[in-house]
Structure 1
Amino acid sequence: MADPQGTSKPINFVHQDEIWKAHVKVEKDSAAIWPKKWGSLTEAYKEYERESVKLKEVLRAELPSDLAARPLTPTEKIIQVAASPPVPQTTQALIGWRSGHSYLQLKKYATVNHARHSFLKDLGWPLDACS
């Protein structure tokens, strides 16, 4: 982003390159030293994974039959798709042509009620408490 007042200092690309080389060297050296310092953590993690697998197998074996996964119900038994009414002749009649029939309405299960509540009234605060 350009400085709007033009007060920025010129960039020394050689200096920036040296800084970048130093960062890369530190990263490379750290990657070489890490296994000596912290390599024991990888063994502890592998041991934790083995114990976790064993516990999962035990829990699967002890799972009661009423908590076992039920077989999936086919979607054809859950969702019934009715035949569509004939397609309208004009494009103006095409808008909303399926929703005009009661058995093809989108809101099939329940109506949406938008209650008129005030958060401040529910808390018993004065209406000018928040501005």
Structure 2
Amino acid sequence: MADPQGTSKPINFVHRDEIRKAYVKVEKDSASVWPSKWGSLTEAYKEYERECVKLKEVLRAEPPSGSAAQPLTPTERNIQVAPAPPVPQTTQALIGWRLGHSNLQLEKYATVNHGRSSFLKELGWPSGACS
């Protein structure tokens, strides 16, 4: 991409190539040294995978006992879905169309009241203690 003001410096392709060669050399050196420094991590990971497979097989073979596992309850008992009101015909009426229906409002249980309190009053300090 050309500089619109023409103030860019000329590109030194030889210098860029030398930098790229240095990066490639460092990557190759790091790849050859990595197993001696960090190769133990691969064995630990393989051991972890073997243990996970064993645990999964044990869980598949032995289902949880009847006293600890609770039977699944049907969702029809817990969740009751009321029919939605008809969708408005215009986009302007679409904004906030569910708020007019009390059973579809977000605050289902009670309104949220955030009381205002003073930090100084909580500490029992006089109101002019901090300025």
What TM-score do you get using the length of structure 2 for normalisation? Answer: 0.56
Cα deviation for residue 21 of structure 1 reads: 0.9
* Partner residue, 1:115: 115
* Partner residue, 2:69: 68
Cα deviation for residue 42 of structure 1 reads: 1.3
* Partner residue, 1:33: 33
Cα deviation for residue 18 of structure 1 reads: 0.3
Q: RMSD value over aligned CA atoms?
A: 4.4
Conserved in 2, the CA contact under 8 Å of 1:121 and 1:127?
no
* Partner residue, 2:44: 44
Q: Residue 49 of structure 1 aligns to which amino acid in structure 2? A: E
Paired residue total:
124
Higher mean alpha-carbon deviation, 42-51 vs 64-73, is at: 64-73
The 2-side partners of 1:119 and 1:11 are apart by 61
The 1-side partners of 2:44 and 2:94 are apart by 65
Alpha carbons of 1:62 and 1:106: their partners in 2 closer, same or farther (altered >3 Å)? closer
* Partner residue, 2:77: 77
* Partner residue, 2:23: 23
Conserved in 2, the CA contact under 8 Å of 1:98 and 1:104?
yes
Alpha carbons of 1:62 and 1:82: their partners in 2 closer, same or farther (altered >3 Å)? closer
Higher mean alpha-carbon deviation, 23-32 vs 88-97, is at: 88-97
The 2-side partners of 1:41 and 1:88 are apart by 60
What TM-score do you get using the length of structure 1 for normalisation? Answer: 0.56
Identity of aligned residues (%): 71
The 2-side partners of 1:124 and 1:15 are apart by 69
Alpha carbons of 1:90 and 1:63: their partners in 2 closer, same or farther (altered >3 Å)? closer
The reply on whether 1:13 has 2:13 as its aligned counterpart is yes
Between Structure 1 and Structure 2, the one with more helix by share is 1
Cα deviation for residue 112 of structure 1 reads: 0.8
Q: Any idea what the Cα deviations from partners look like across 1:55-100, whole Å, max 9, x if unmatched?
A: 56667859554543653642x4333233455678998877655544
